[in-house]
Structure 1
Amino acid sequence: MASSQPNMERFLREWRQDALNKAQYESAIFIGDKLLAMTNDDNDAFFLAQVHFAAGNYTRAQALLAKQDLLTSNPSCRYLAAHCLIKQNNFVEALAILGEHTPTHLFATNAKRKTTRGVRAATARANSKTSSRHHDQGDDIPEEDILNRRYEASMCYLRGLCYAKQNAFDRAKEAYKDALRIDVQCFEAFSQLVKNSLMSPDEEDEFMQSLAFNSIRAPGDDPDMEDEPADYVQMLYQTQLSKYHNPQAFNTAIESLSTHYGLENNADILLAKADLLYTQCRFKDALAITESILMDDKYNFAVYPIHLACLYELRKTNVLFLIAHELADTHPDEPCTWLAVGVYYFTTGKIADARRYFSKASMMDANFGPAWIGFAHTFAAEGEHDQAVTAYSTAARLFTGTHLPQVFLGMQNHAMNNMTAAEEFLKTAYSLCKTDPLLLNEMGIVLYHQDRLKEAVKMFASALKIAAETDSDPHAWLGARTNLGHALRRLRKYDEALEEFDQVLRDGGKDAQIFCAKGLIYLDKERPEEAVQVLHEALAIHPQDPIATELLNKALEESAEAGDIGLLGTADAAFGGETSEEGGMSGDLASFEQRLGEKKFAARMKLARGRRTAAEMPGQSGGVKDKGKGVARSGRRGAVGGTRLFRGDQEGVDSMELSD
């Protein structure tokens, strides 16, 4: 009988594996239990515990590992036991098993390369084969030690989950980073860092360069394959990083993965492309990609934050309704479902309903960035600035690596006319991300209202420059260009201001206020006849516009006076006095613009006493109107993208009114 036991063990293991492959957990547990009784082998005990875990029997799996006294002898068993406790929301006991000591001696190093984002085109691989290669100290480590090392990395990942549940986000971030330092293939840890926006774009760049991708080895001894797995993994990781930093590296990675590895239609690669397009305000292009992904995989929930964001931006309320209705019927336990419902209500102006469903989504997943930002936006939409600040502050605490909550906090303080606080929040956002035109435009608006016009001009110009460099939709940044025109107007750089306003009109910004601004410039330049012409165009767009009407009356008066006394074009004779470098005006035109400002202020106060509509979002104080971004990474965004954060109808590409 004893001689047949090895055959019986092999028979039972094959039966157990076959049952597990079919997800027949009851059979696998039944056979695995008999096999363990026969062998009393640690590996069979661990396998049985894994089957219990897969079946959702977390307490039984944990009890089995403790009974077999495996927790002290094997990292894989400690990992599984801690994972069972985490599934039971017992984070303190899980940390007790995992320990709080990081095995730093297992950190791999990357002495081979320090390239921007570490991306190297696959086509250049042949040229680099003759170069020296750093061999990680783990090259000759036995297979069992490599396996234990990977479990140690996974335990760092679990440690990060526990810290995150305890709201110790800095410790969670370090634990996830330690997991990748030990094993760069620990994608779960990488995903937590990126998805929850725990690192700023600059931090991501620096951390990517430090990772030991060169420690990744392909199976076999083919020297031609030595570098390829490392390059492949590095490019895959590159596609998941923030799209605000170095889009060239992102495009290189996407091109290589699509050309050499056939991933051009892969959902994750397409989603990364859509994320980039969304940050560039190319919402129609991004929507086309997300629609193609959902056509093949209807319930790929990672796609929905950006998909919903694009639908919101394009005001496709009917499509939003259908999506929200279907997801509520089929997947009521998914946070994305209630995000979709919230976005639909937000789009249709039912702010209270939107708030309720954003809140529900955030309670289902406390780390769901789009829901948190959407929840905060609902307060901002109704002018509840204090509550909006509280909600945005929560998002800023949860998603420390993304700049968007800080931007929105700056907008809210600006709306409350607290310029000092607004500037501080925007500076904090700038320290996290220096390449978002939305942020630069908001900084310019605050500087404008502080009468720091030269600095404001630099910010607006930088916003437009970055938007152009990233191929952003010019129409999305009409507000920033309008702001630049107003700042130049106040600096009395009239020709430059007119160029900006003309560009706004060429890009499709047919707004009566643009023509009013041009009319005011022509008045200031003592060219009332041209002012009359552009003000007629303003009234053609908005016949009841009070500013255009009053400016037109002023222009007609100036034109008549100039014709009577022959002083057209003589500034001192028409207005008298000096002008300051910062654009201060004197005489009749100064008092006239002051009266316009008073009228606009009175109108805004009257509007503020009424209920704000859904279209009014934070950043609309002091004469600001929205032009820009939208929902989602992740989102990161979302933002909080990823986190693909609900970018929001903050939109931030705000355009300052003429009275400013």
Structure 2
Amino acid sequence: MDKFLRDWRQDALNRNQYEAAIFAADKLVAITGDEQDTFWLAQVHFTTGNYTRTQALLTRRGLVERNPQCRYLSAHCAIKLGKTEEALQILGDKNPTHLISAPGSARTKLRHVDVNTRAGPRHNKTGSRNERVPTSEERDREQIDNIKLEAGMCYLRGVCYAKQNSFDRAKECYKTAVQIDVQCFEAFDALMANSLMSPEEEWTFLESLNFDTINVSNNTSLSQEAAQFTKLLYTTRLSKYTKPEEFANASETLSTHYNLNDNPDIVLSKADLMYTHCRFREALALTSSVLIIDKYNFNILPVHLACLHELGEKNTLFLLAHDLADSNPSEPCSWLAVGIYYLSINRIAEARRFFSKASMMDPHFGPAWIGFAHTFAAEGEHDQAISAYSTAARLFQGTHLPQLYLGMQNLQLSNLSLAREYLKTAYDLCETDPLLLNEMGVVYFHQDQFPDAITFFRRALAYAERNGADTDAWLPTRINLAHALRKYGHLDEALATFEQVLRHGVKDPAVFTAKGLVLLELNRSWDAVIALHEALAVSPQDPMATDLLNRALEANEVDSGLIGDTGPGAEAGGFGGEDGSGGGGAAAGAIGGGEEEIEELERRMNGRLREIEQNRVAGRRGGRGRRRVPSSGVELPLVDDASAFGESMVVDSDD
């Protein structure tokens, strides 16, 4: 009867007929009283969500203390029930670090085992493990199933500590779990998804893993290939800010040798790389290709939503947010989509409401926290934004983005020393993000350290170019470089940089005005007049362009010897707005060339530059905070309230 009942139980499980499986397993336990049969009955109860009943069954039979499988399952039940302290009591607070296997040692020991297997039966006591022996003697004495269970319990400890906001201890538990069992993907994914390690730390950790412990059917060559295959898969999960060549090699190998080119995880890693490099349309094409097949892939949706926001695709965001809110109201990503849509149409209060809802549903959902902080930044509420970014920095210690945003907020508050400290912290975590390098250049610019500012602006542009980023996305950085060159006295190079920006079709009066100022300093007054008239053609009431135009006309008349006469300077007087504002001309009166007026113009220019810098960071994405690329598109009518997304959108005052 026991064989019959085990087959019945397994067959019912395979068909998801859990009541039948419980019926058969219960009779089996009554007949045999076997621990393994009891475990399987508890496993079926766990699968159906009966966590309390599962725990009661294991405790009643005294299996939690003496059976590792049952201890793991009982602790998992406690976590599902929200009993974190009870789960830690079941698991214990110490990780079995003696089971960690160092990289490279398995190969060495494998050679010894191959040579010595004939020496006697004592070398064959582990049966299937005699070809790939673990590293340490303690590990060697453990059964492979127990090793995997110990790794699983390390992962559960990490989950408990993360729920208690003890992220350092959670990080160590996750790392130990993967070092004990390199196939404990849940722990590895928790480290990567929650950004618990810096980009450099991630690569160092990957190299510390012993993939040679993977054993496939006692076949050495197949095991080695499986180890390399697993390492390639893990490589695609690492941060995309460093070592893009290694990521590209891993992705190429997986795509060509193993036919994983269209696999959603591989496509997601490629899209994440494109997004990191500000190649938003390419990233959107990749994410869209996955969502066509798998419409509700919640792993890829955050990157997809961020790309839509960057590209100003409001209509698509609207429809997608509606669909997700109706079909998956229990998913945090659905409310992230709603928040990003409202952020894209500048409905900041509603956006904040739904970012908050997403973060409450999953306290470790990074995009929701960053989007929540962005809503304060968008309204100029710098103190609240700093508080929200600080929370994100505490939750996600390995990513540099919260520190970067904290630096940007302090920069807008003119707290230059504090901004520099935050940006330096972000720089220590990631040295290759062009946006971070640009912000550091801005800090050095405002501190009058122009050589350092020029260096950082040039590095930002170099990385952006190497990444193949959209040129338009980095025009603000090129404008910043031109201003730094102007202030440092490299006027010819500054002029060439401003002209390079204007060739991209920029119609910013500040750029034309800055070009006019450089031409004035180069004593090319007539060219300055032309540039300043172009500025006034875009913004007829720009006061800075008007003042500089008066100065340029005066300088042009002095250079030409045409004071009081008609000529190019007088001819320019008719330009400007219809109300006469902005039309400089000789009739506007001569402006003296005193040092006070020059300094005043410089002060106003710096003020205008800071205003440009503040406006430049508007429209950051809800997921990771890149500047958005301007694009055209028809905006849907504004939604009056949240009920447009269904009744499930309405949040109670308690929420």
TM-score of the pair, normalised by structure 2 = 0.84
Q: How does 1:27-106 map to 2 (within 5 A)?
A: 27-106=20-99
Residues 630 and 61 (structure 1), Cα distance of their counterparts in 2 relative to 1, 3 Å cut = same
Q: 1:503 aligns with which of 500, 503, 520?
A: 500
Q: Identify the range of structure 1 (469-478 vs 28-37) with the bigger mean alpha-carbon deviation.
A: 469-478
**Per-residue deviation, residues 349-388 of structure 1 (Å, max 9, x unmatched):** 1111111111111100000111111111111111111111
Q: 1:647 aligns with which of 625, 628, 633?
A: 625
Contact 1:163 1:169 in 2 (8 A): yes
* Stretches of structure 1 lacking an aligned partner (at least 5 in a row): 1-7, 115-132, 567-586, 605-619, 633-644, 652-660
Residues 446 and 138 (structure 1), Cα distance of their counterparts in 2 relative to 1, 3 Å cut = same
Residues 19 and 480 (structure 1), Cα distance of their counterparts in 2 relative to 1, 3 Å cut = same
Residues 80 and 464 (structure 1), Cα distance of their counterparts in 2 relative to 1, 3 Å cut = same
Where does residue 564 of structure 1 map in the other structure? Answer: 561
Partners of 1:535 and 1:335 lie apart in 2 by 51
Q: 2:286 aligns with which of 261, 284, 289?
A: 289
Structure 1 residue 112, shift from structure 2 partner: 6.6
Structure 1 counterpart of 2:185, one-letter code: F
Residues 560 and 257 (structure 1), Cα distance of their counterparts in 2 relative to 1, 3 Å cut = same
Structure 1 residue 61, shift from structure 2 partner: 0.8
Structure 1 residue 93, shift from structure 2 partner: 0.6
Q: How does 1:172-183 map to 2 (within 5 A)?
A: 172-183=170-181
Structure 1 residue 650, shift from structure 2 partner: 9.0
Residues 589 and 244 (structure 1), Cα distance of their counterparts in 2 relative to 1, 3 Å cut = farther
The alignment partner of 1:240 has SS state of: coil
Where does residue 194 of structure 1 map in the other structure? Answer: 192
Structure 1 residue 503, shift from structure 2 partner: 2.4
Q: How does 1:257-656 map to 2 (within 5 A)?
A: 257-564=254-561, 588=593, 591-596=596-601, 623-626=613-616, 630-631=620-621, 645-647=623-625
Partners of 2:615 and 2:487 lie apart in 1 by 19
Identity %: 55
Residues 438 and 623 (structure 1), Cα distance of their counterparts in 2 relative to 1, 3 Å cut = closer
Partners of 1:113 and 1:560 lie apart in 2 by 84
Where does residue 109 of structure 1 map in the other structure? Answer: 102
**Per-residue deviation, residues 245-267 of structure 1 (Å, max 9, x unmatched):** 11111100100000000000011
Q: Identify the range of structure 1 (503-512 vs 315-324) with the bigger mean alpha-carbon deviation.
A: 503-512
Q: Identify the range of structure 1 (194-203 vs 474-483) with the bigger mean alpha-carbon deviation.
A: 474-483
TM-score of the pair, normalised by structure 1 = 0.83
Contact 1:524 1:589 in 2 (8 A): no
Residues 558 and 522 (structure 1), Cα distance of their counterparts in 2 relative to 1, 3 Å cut = same
Structure 1 residue 295, shift from structure 2 partner: 0.5
Structure 2 counterpart of 1:465, one-letter code: A
More RCO (CA 8 Å, sep 6+): 1
Partners of 1:627 and 1:372 lie apart in 2 by 18
**Per-residue deviation, residues 287-344 of structure 1 (Å, max 9, x unmatched):** 1111111110001111111111111111111111111111111111111111111111
Structure 2 counterpart of 1:192, one-letter code: A
**Per-residue deviation, residues 118-163 of structure 1 (Å, max 9, x unmatched):** xxxxxxxxxxxxxxx9964379988981011001000000000000
Where does residue 217 of structure 1 map in the other structure? Answer: 215
Residues 390 and 317 (structure 1), Cα distance of their counterparts in 2 relative to 1, 3 Å cut = same
Structure 1 residue 550, shift from structure 2 partner: 2.5
Contact 2:134 2:140 in 1 (8 A): no
Residues 219 and 595 (structure 1), Cα distance of their counterparts in 2 relative to 1, 3 Å cut = same
Where does residue 164 of structure 1 map in the other structure? Answer: 162
**RMSD (CA atoms):** 2.5
Aligned length: 578
Residues 216 and 312 (structure 1), Cα distance of their counterparts in 2 relative to 1, 3 Å cut = same
The alignment partner of 1:509 has SS state of: coil
Partners of 1:590 and 1:330 lie apart in 2 by 67
Contact 1:414 1:621 in 2 (8 A): no
Where does residue 589 of structure 2 map in the other structure? Answer: none
Contact 1:476 1:628 in 2 (8 A): no
Structure 1 residue 516, shift from structure 2 partner: 1.6
Where does residue 25 of structure 1 map in the other structure? Answer: 18
Partners of 2:327 and 2:429 lie apart in 1 by 39
Residues 135 and 498 (structure 1), Cα distance of their counterparts in 2 relative to 1, 3 Å cut = farther
The alignment partner of 2:236 has SS state of: helix
The question of 1:145 aligning with 2:150 is answered no
The alignment partner of 1:227 has SS state of: helix
Partners of 1:649 and 1:474 lie apart in 2 by 12
Structure 2 counterpart of 1:166, one-letter code: Q
Partners of 2:399 and 2:462 lie apart in 1 by 22
Partners of 1:598 and 1:489 lie apart in 2 by 14
Partners of 1:402 and 1:590 lie apart in 2 by 47
* Stretches of structure 2 lacking an aligned partner (at least 5 in a row): 108-130, 564-591, 630-655
